[in-house]
Amino acid sequence: MLIELSHLRDQVDVLDKEILELVSRRLALVQKITELKNHSEVPFYVREREDFVVSSLREEAVLKNISPDLIEDILRRIFRESYARSGAASFKCFNPLLRKIVVVGGGGKLGGLFVKHFRLSGYDVEVIEREDWSTSREVLSKAGMVLVAVPIHKTLEVIETLNYLPDDCLLADVTSIKSKPLESMLKHHKGPVVGLHPMFGSPISSLTKQVIVYCDGRVPESYAWLLDQFRFWGITLQQCNALEHDKAMTLIQALRHFTSFVYGLHLAQENPDLSDLIELSSPIYRLELVMVGRLFAQDASLYGDIILSSNENKEMIKRFHTRFSEAIKLLDENDKQGFVDAFENVATWFGRFSERFMKESQNLLFQSQDASYRNKSDK
């Protein structure tokens, strides 16, 4: 029996190598396609094509009595790899006649990502840091576009100095709040203005499928090329009113980061043995630990600036805190029924989304368990 087992295992090992070979050939083919696209009008990432590949292979899987989700997961993982590899590709240029693009703070992680992609798209890009602020006036006065990518607390003071740009120069920023920067850009610059908020951190390997929220400022037709350029990079654009954006970010960023921060404070003071805690964790709690812990591998100052950037943030955090206090009353009164009623009201509010999230999260939890094994074998 053991002989038979090891014989079957050998066959599996052979299959695995064949799978690896096919995957590597697929990556090479897509590489070719990417190179072909770089010199064409065909955008880098075509949603319809991806959906077609997925749905047709899902159908094939069903015919073979294989889970379609399995094959879709594998496909999407390979897609992602292809996008990551295409990082070094060159891109079609949507505004070849544009004068110099000046990225203020282009030495930073986020700014650097844009510098890299603009250059890969054939633009003439110059980076300005605070230290060369004095000498930068001449460069800026000839710019075709200026992108402000400095830390959030520096954004306004930098924008205020940009009051001498050419009238046809496009002025844009990538700050995670939008109302004040947009207002200031419109005030100090007469020409085209657009506010951008890239909804991603710097450790990404490709811009494909990443989201950028943009808030129209002035003369949209004069930066249509920029949005086309972004789409060609594979970016998903979301148009949003600046005030609504800032309102949403009080939840999406400020409250989220602050509660993670407080949870970290709490853990550090409770001081459990992290290894033991991980051993005893449910997949859900493990995910929480990972998501909270990751915050503290990052820049304290950046998160402090985001949270402290507006009173709306503080008010949102305080409203959450008040609701927490109210909910604690249910505990003090041992009010099981009150808990169930409140719970079911929220369930009603989530509506169809809770079921959808349940389904979506299930797969994520499996993946996080897989990841934890990957992590173990790393050590």
Judged by CB under 8 A, the chain residues 93 through 152 that form the site for a second copy are none
Q: How far is the CB of 137 from a second copy (least distance, A)?
A: 30
Q: Is residue 248 part of the contact set for a second copy (CB under 8 A)? A: yes
Beta carbon nearer to a second copy, 191 or 234: 234
Query: Which of 190, 209, 218, 231 is close enough to bind a second copy by CB under 8 A?
Result: 209
Percentages of the chain per state (helix, strand, coil), in multiples of 5: 65, 10, 25
Beta carbon nearer to a second copy, 126 or 288: 288
Extended strands (E) in the chain: 101-104, 125-128, 145-148, 170-173, 193-198, 211-218, 236-239
Pick the stretch among 128-136, 166-174, 218-226, 326-334 that binds a second copy (CB under 8 A): 326-334
Question: Which 45-74 positions form the footprint of a second copy (CB under 8 A)?
Answer: 49-51, 53-57, 60-61, 64-67, 69-74
Pick the stretch among 91-99, 101-109, 161-169, 194-202 that binds a second copy (CB under 8 A): 194-202
Q: 143 with 101: CB under 8 angstroms? A: yes
Q: Is residue 305 part of the contact set for a second copy (CB under 8 A)? A: yes
Size of the site for a second copy (CB under 8 A): 168
Question: Which 7-26 positions form the footprint of a second copy (CB under 8 A)?
Answer: 8-9, 11-13, 15-26
| Cross-sheet strand order for the sheet of 193-198 | 125-128, 101-104, 145-148, 170-173, 193-198, 211-218, 236-239
Sign of CA dihedral 92, 112, 189, 246: positive
The 3-class secondary structure across 310-341, one letter per residue, is CHHHHHHHHHHHHHHHHHHHHHHCCCHHHHHH
Beta carbon nearer to a second copy, 114 or 303: 303
**Alpha carbon 139 to its chain's center:** 31
Nearest Cα to Cα of residue 330 among 348, 346, 353, 352: 346
Question: Which 276-295 positions form the footprint of a second copy (CB under 8 A)?
Answer: 276-277, 279-285, 287-295
DSSP reduced 3-state for 64:
coil
Beta carbon nearer to a second copy, 137 or 356: 356
Beta carbon nearer to a second copy, 161 or 301: 301
Pairing of strands 170-173, 145-148: parallel
Distance CA 275, CA 261 (A): 20
Question: Which 219-238 positions form the footprint of a second copy (CB under 8 A)?
Answer: 238
Q: How far is the CB of 48 from a second copy (least distance, A)?
A: 11
Query: Which of 96, 124, 161, 265 is close enough to bind a second copy by CB under 8 A?
Result: 265
Query: Which of 4, 131, 138, 221 is close enough to bind a second copy by CB under 8 A?
Result: 4
Q: 168 with 188: CB under 8 angstroms? A: no
Query: Which of 100, 188, 231, 314 is close enough to bind a second copy by CB under 8 A?
Result: 314
DSSP reduced 3-state for 173:
strand
Q: Is residue 42 part of the contact set for a second copy (CB under 8 A)? A: yes
| Site map (CB under 8 A) of a second copy, residues 338-357, x = contact | -xx-xxxxxx-xx--xxxxx
DSSP 180-202: HHHHHHHHH--S-EEEEEE-S-T
